[in-house]
């Protein structure tokens, strides 16, 4: 008898608004033929996001990576930047592509964000900024980082790609530091297909970003700064406006998925599950587990392989550490980051999306727990 193939479950799945809703929103674009260059929907989305994120200013971009690069450029950073290697390639690439040197601090084992207690030891006369990363929706120790930055006269740009909508003590996470970068990639909690943003309270930075994302063009006859084409188009903006309307229900679905995972995995010996942070309203962006093979009896890779055998696809995220990537061979590998190294070798992010059914979570956890 032929066995029925098991349902395929991917590590992430994009949330989409009703098709008809999106079509109706883009229909006026055909009449206006205004498809890009800060059109009506672009400007409307900027305002709507500023309200949702509880921030003074939002500057939109075609993706989060270029947003980060242009923010680094706009703040005039130079020399060394203290950051974390436990992040997506983009964070380190942006620093290096801007001609700066990343100096890697270790992470804390509780929430996987930069260990704020390690930052001051890495500050030198060449240090111009700190670029911490909010990880999996967990936020950095923003208060301690702010105190260090003020003490040493450093800029702070948060990589908040994972932290859309997160609040700390009722304050939007995009208010901390000099600026924060958000990613609106298709698999994020909120997306514009591709896209990103900088949030800040610095009006001068907003003005600079406005022109540098459009080749540095100030007016029809003046190009007084150097920049790429990093503008968000109207189709992206419309997708964002539609998705923002449905975000509350999407977050409720994500919360239910996280709670189901916690029910199965929170008290399993050898599996570390992130605990909710105090005073933080989360966004349920990811569900990572960190595997201690000496206790659980199987490695992270063996769990990943077992899931794939059942058509379930998890991700080693983040792995490898950015300082160990081939493109930086011989440059940063000796960074003193033992906690980050151990975590990268053992972390596995499980499938996570608003469309994941409770029985899907049960099936995923059943495969994992069957290995004990």
Q: What ranges in the chain are assigned the alpha helix state H? A: 19-32, 40-53, 64-74, 89-97, 142-152, 203-212, 234-265, 293-296, 300-309, 338-344, 358-369
Contact between 341 and 107 under an 8 Å Cβ cutoff? The reply is: no
Considering the domain boundaries, does residue 6 fall inside one? Answer: no
Considering the domain boundaries, does residue 13 fall inside one? Answer: no
Residues 124 and 56 in one domain: yes
Among 291, 296, 300, 182, which residue's Cα sits nearest to residue 232? Answer: 182
Which whole-number Å values give the CA distances from 77 to 68, 82, 134, 298, in the listed order?
12, 12, 21, 45
Residues 27 and 96 in one domain: yes
Spatial distance between the Cα atoms of 179 and 7, rounded to a whole number of angstroms: 42
- pLDDT above 90: residue 2: no
Considering the domain boundaries, does residue 322 fall inside one? Answer: yes
Beta-carbon-side half-sphere exposure of residue 38 (alpha carbons within 13 Å): 11
Residue that terminates a domain, selected from 189, 221, 242: 242
Domain that holds residue 157: 19-242
Residues 259 and 330 in one domain: yes
Q: What is the pLDDT of residues 188-240, one digit of tens each?
A: 999 999 999 999 999 999 999 999 999 999 888 999 989 999 999 999 999 99
Contact between 93 and 102 under an 8 Å Cβ cutoff? The reply is: no
How many Cβ atoms sit within 10 Å of the Cβ of residue 50? Answer: 18
Residues 26 and 59 in one domain: yes
Residue 58, strand partner residues: 199
Among 129, 123, 124, 120, which residue's Cα sits nearest to residue 100? Answer: 129
CATH number for 284: 3.90.1150.10
Residues 184 and 304 in one domain: no
Angle, in degrees to the nearest 10, between helices 64-74 and 89-97: 40
Q: Average per-residue pLDDT in the chain? A: 96
Considering the domain boundaries, does residue 4 fall inside one? Answer: no
Q: What is the pLDDT of residues 163-197, one digit of tens each?
A: 999 999 999 999 999 999 999 999 999 999 999 99
């Amino acid at each position: 008898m032929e066995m029925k193939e098991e349902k395929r479950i991917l590590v992430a799945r994009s949330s989409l608004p009703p098709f008809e809703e999106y079509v109706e929103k883009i229909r006026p674009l055909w009449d206006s033929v205004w498809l890009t260059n800060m059109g009506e929907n672009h400007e409307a989305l900027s305002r709507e996001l500023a309200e949702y994120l509880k921030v003074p200013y939002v500057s939109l971009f075609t993706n989060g990576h270029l947003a980060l690069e242009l923010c680094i450029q706009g703040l005039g950073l130079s020399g060394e930047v203290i950051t974390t290697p436990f992040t997506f390639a983009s964070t380190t690439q942006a620093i290096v592509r801007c001609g700066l040197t990343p100096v890697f601090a270790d992470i804390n084992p509780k929430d996987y964000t930069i260990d704020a207690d390690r930052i001051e030891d890495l500050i030198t006369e060449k240090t111009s900024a700190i670029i911490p990363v909010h990880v999996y929706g967990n936020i950095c120790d923003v208060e301690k980082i702010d105190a260090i930055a003020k003490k040493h006269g450093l800029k702070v740009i948060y990589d908040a790609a994972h932290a859309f909508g997160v609040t700390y003590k009722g304050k939007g996470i995009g208010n901390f530091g000099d600026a924060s970068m958000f990613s609106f990639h298709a698999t994020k909690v909120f997306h514009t297909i591709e896209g990103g943003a900088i949030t800040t309270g610095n009006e001068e930075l907003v003005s600079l970003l406005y022109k540098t994302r459009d080749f540095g063009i100030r007016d029809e006859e003046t190009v007084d700064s150097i920049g790429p084409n990093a503008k968000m188009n109207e189709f992206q903006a419309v997708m964002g406006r539609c998705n923002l309307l449905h975000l509350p229900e999407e977050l409720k679905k994500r919360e239910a998925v996280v709670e189901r995972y916690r029910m199965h995995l929170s008290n399993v010996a050898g599996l570390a599950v992130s605990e909710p942070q105090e005073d933080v309203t989360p966004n349920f962006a990811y569900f990572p587990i960190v595997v201690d093979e000496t206790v659980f009896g199987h490695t992270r890779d063996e769990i990943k392989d077992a899931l794939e055998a059942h058509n379930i696809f998890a991700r080693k995220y983040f792995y490898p550490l950015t300082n160990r990537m081939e493109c930086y061979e011989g440059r940063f590998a000796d960074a003193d980051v033992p906690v980050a190294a151990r975590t990268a070798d053992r972390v596995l992010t499980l499938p996570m999306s608003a469309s994941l059914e409770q029985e899907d979570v049960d099936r995923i956890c059943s495969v994992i727990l069957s290995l004990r």
